[in-house]
């Protein structure tokens, strides 16, 4: 049952602080806190001000005043903090017009859900992201004009197998062997269970947790599917809880797509389906893999716009250390049942109509979930509206095709610069229903180029010294 203002005021009686959270343009939670006496019915009407010029991707200094409007449906008791704290997720508004702020990613997701209903194609979209992450024992990194380095360590790391640890008890996980041995090789079973208990305490239903393929503490915890806006909220809750429970247990968690060389990176396979009432629009008993024409056209939209989508769903320079052939990397622009080397997969675990869905495998959890999910939905809807044919499915190992066949399968772009260029050339489908705006897309692309792409490509890479110092 959705929480009302009265419900939230009642919850406030059980805590000492109220934490107000919102998301910046790149996708990181921001917050500030107020004493519970400030939590009143009037606050939900009036909102509370903050400095928008200090938030990445938001306002300039001369127009910095912004407003947060509390969403009572999002309230939960924080399972991490020692001081009893009620968390409420907020929407960003312009204080002059009292209208939603065009660059608020949560507003984009709200408009995407509304646009779906306007199309008449379906009433609800359901989302199930599988966000992978690592939990390390130690991480150090830095650099300047004359240096650049990172160092990662893990009790599970294969590089520890020959170390003098006084004693070394062995059972470290070799690369690509982490899926999924029992303890003692899996050293993080209890820690993942603690994370699950914290997630459920915050109101997030969890379906499964397990060690992932890579060495050094790669993990996955899967949430039960939910509507677009709610799932985007939950993904930020998920990342917050994972990082903090890991920290409480003297480990550090990262959702960085490719922190280790020579082993699998961390992706976020996104499962999607469209529903009209109790009917799954993606199901057809007689179709390929039991998917309907609606689902096929949805896949057609994802494949057509995939390059632009990656700018919002795999949006870091590091994302393209993962999106390379091998290591189950979903770089091939094809669809298939079961085949994990295709960018679109149709899971066939169950023959139930309720279970039929499309999985887009390229995203990772460095993305802003509100923008990522909204963009995927808009691409799929464009495919349905224009009946975009995705072609024939490919049920072969795409990494082991004969050359003549392999060259016919297109692959995703290989860098952040390429996908930002693709987004600039292919964005009209995002503007339908005013879901995305040019203002937001221009600010997003400028931020990515100036703050991430240029600083990385202008720096020498440490491995370049091995390759080139003695030339």
Q: Please report, for the domain that includes residue 337, its CATH number.
A: 3.30.590.10
Degrees, nearest 5: CA angle 251-255-260:
80
The least confident of 9-18, 19-28, 340-349 is 340-349
- The two most distant CA atoms of the chain are separated, in Å, by 71
Cβ-based neighbours of 58, under 8 Å, separated by 6 or more: 24, 25, 52, 66, 92, 101, 103
Within this chain, do residues 128 and 64 fall inside the same structural domain, yes or no?
A: no
Region 92-104: mean pLDDT is 93
Within this chain, do residues 79 and 128 fall inside the same structural domain, yes or no?
A: no
The one catalytic residue among 177, 230, 321, 340: 340
- Structure confidence at residue 360 as a pLDDT band (50, 70, 90): very high
> Which is higher by pLDDT, 329 or 347?
347
Within this chain, do residues 239 and 319 fall inside the same structural domain, yes or no?
A: yes
How many structural domains comprise the chain?
A: 2
Is 428 designated active site? no
Within this chain, do residues 284 and 391 fall inside the same structural domain, yes or no?
A: yes
Is 200 designated active site? no
Is 132 designated active site? yes
Question: Which CATH number is 45's domain given?
Answer: 3.10.20.70
The one catalytic residue among 212, 233, 364, 382: 212
Tokens describing residue 163? 């170390």
Question: pLDDT tens for residues 380-433?
Answer: 999 999 999 999 988 777 667 777 777 778 889 999 999 999 999 999 999 999
Q: Which helix (H) or strand (E) holds 403?
A: helix 403-406
Is 405 designated active site? no
Within this chain, do residues 374 and 264 fall inside the same structural domain, yes or no?
A: yes
Within this chain, do residues 324 and 405 fall inside the same structural domain, yes or no?
A: yes
Is 60 designated active site? no
Could you give phi then psi for residue 329, rounded to 5 degrees?
Answer: -65, 125
Is 19 designated active site? no
429 within some domain: yes
227 within some domain: yes
The one catalytic residue among 269, 271, 305, 322: 269
162 within some domain: no
Within this chain, do residues 225 and 91 fall inside the same structural domain, yes or no?
A: no
Domain region containing 356? 124-132+202-209+220-246+258-468
Is 130 designated active site? yes
CA 156 to chain centre: 25
289 within some domain: yes
Question: pLDDT tens for residues 19-67?
Answer: 999 999 999 999 999 999 999 999 999 999 998 888 998 877 556 789 9
Region 281-306: mean pLDDT is 96
Within this chain, do residues 48 and 128 fall inside the same structural domain, yes or no?
A: no
119 within some domain: no
The one catalytic residue among 156, 359, 364, 382: 359
365 within some domain: yes
The one catalytic residue among 106, 211, 345, 361: 361
Within this chain, do residues 21 and 128 fall inside the same structural domain, yes or no?
A: no
Alpha-carbon torsion (359, 365, 366, 369), positive or negative: positive
pTM of the model: 0.96
Within this chain, do residues 415 and 266 fall inside the same structural domain, yes or no?
A: yes
Tokens describing residue 103? 């660059």
Q: What is the pLDDT of residue 175?
A: 93
For residue 42, give the 3-state DSSP assignment. Answer: helix
Within this chain, do residues 377 and 331 fall inside the same structural domain, yes or no?
A: yes
50 within some domain: yes
CA 1 to chain centre: 26
* Cis before 180 (ω within 30): yes
E strands of 75-224, at which residues? 76-77, 85-94, 99-100, 124-136, 138-143, 148-153, 206-211, 218-223
Within this chain, do residues 296 and 433 fall inside the same structural domain, yes or no?
A: yes
Is 21 designated active site? no
Is 207 designated active site? no
């Amino acid at each position: 049952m959705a929480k009302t203002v009265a419900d939230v005021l009642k919850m406030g009686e059980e805590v000492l602080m109220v934490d107000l959270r919102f998301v910046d343009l790149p996708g990181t939670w921001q917050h500030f806190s107020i004493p519970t006496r400030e939590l009143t019915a009037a606050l939900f009407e009036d909102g509370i001000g903050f400095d928008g010029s200090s938030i990445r991707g938001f306002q300039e200094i001369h127009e910095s005043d912004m407003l947060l409007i509390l969403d009572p449906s999002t309230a939960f008791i924080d399972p991490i903090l020692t001081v009893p704290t009620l968390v409420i997720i907020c929407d960003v508004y312009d204080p002059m017009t009292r209208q939603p702020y065009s660059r608020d990613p949560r507003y984009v997701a709200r408009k995407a859900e509304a646009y779906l209903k306007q199309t008449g194609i379906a009433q609800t979209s359901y989302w199930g992201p599988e966000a992978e992450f690592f939990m390390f024992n130690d991480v150090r990194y830095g650099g300047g004009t004359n240096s650049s380095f990172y160092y990662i360590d893990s009790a599970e790391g294969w590089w520890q197998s020959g170390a003098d640890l006084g004693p070394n008890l062995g059972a470290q996980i070799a690369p690509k062997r982490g899926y999924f041995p029992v303890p003692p090789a899996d050293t993080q079973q209890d820690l993942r269970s603690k994370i699950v208990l914290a997630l459920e305490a915050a109101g997030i239903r969890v379906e499964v947790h397990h060690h992932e393929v890579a060495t050094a503490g790669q993990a996955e915890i899967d949430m039960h599917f939910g509507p677009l806006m709610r799932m985007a909220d939950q993904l930020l809750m998920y990342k917050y809880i994972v990082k903090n429970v890991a920290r409480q247990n003297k480990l550090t968690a990262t959702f960085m797509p490719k922190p280790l060389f020579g082993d699998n990176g961390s992706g976020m396979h996104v499962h999607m389906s469209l529903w009209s009432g109790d009917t799954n629009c993606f199901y057809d008993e007689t179709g390929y893999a039991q998917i309907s024409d609606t689902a096929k056209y949805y896949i057609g939209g994802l494949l057509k716009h995939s390059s632009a989508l990656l700018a919002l769903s795999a949006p870091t320079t590091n994302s393209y250390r993962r999106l390379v052939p091998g290591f189950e990397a979903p770089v091939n622009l094809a669809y298939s049942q079961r085949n994990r080397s295709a960018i679109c997969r149709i899971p066939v675990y169950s023959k139930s109509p309720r279970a039929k869905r499309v999985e887009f495998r390229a995203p990772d959890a460095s993305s802003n979930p509100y923008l990522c999910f909204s963009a995927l939905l808009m691409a799929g809807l464009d495919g349905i509206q224009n009946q975009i044919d995705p072609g024939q499915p490919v049920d072969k190992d795409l990494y082991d095709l004969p050359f003549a066949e392999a060259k016919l399968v297109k692959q995703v772009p290989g860098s952040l610069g390429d996908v930002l260029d693709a987004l600039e050339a292919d964005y009209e489908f995002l503007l339908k229903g005013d879901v995305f705006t040019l203002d937001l897309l221009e600010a997003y692309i400028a931020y990515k180029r100036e703050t991430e792409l240029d600083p990385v490509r202008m720096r020498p890479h440490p491995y370049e010294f091995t390759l080139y110092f003695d030339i």
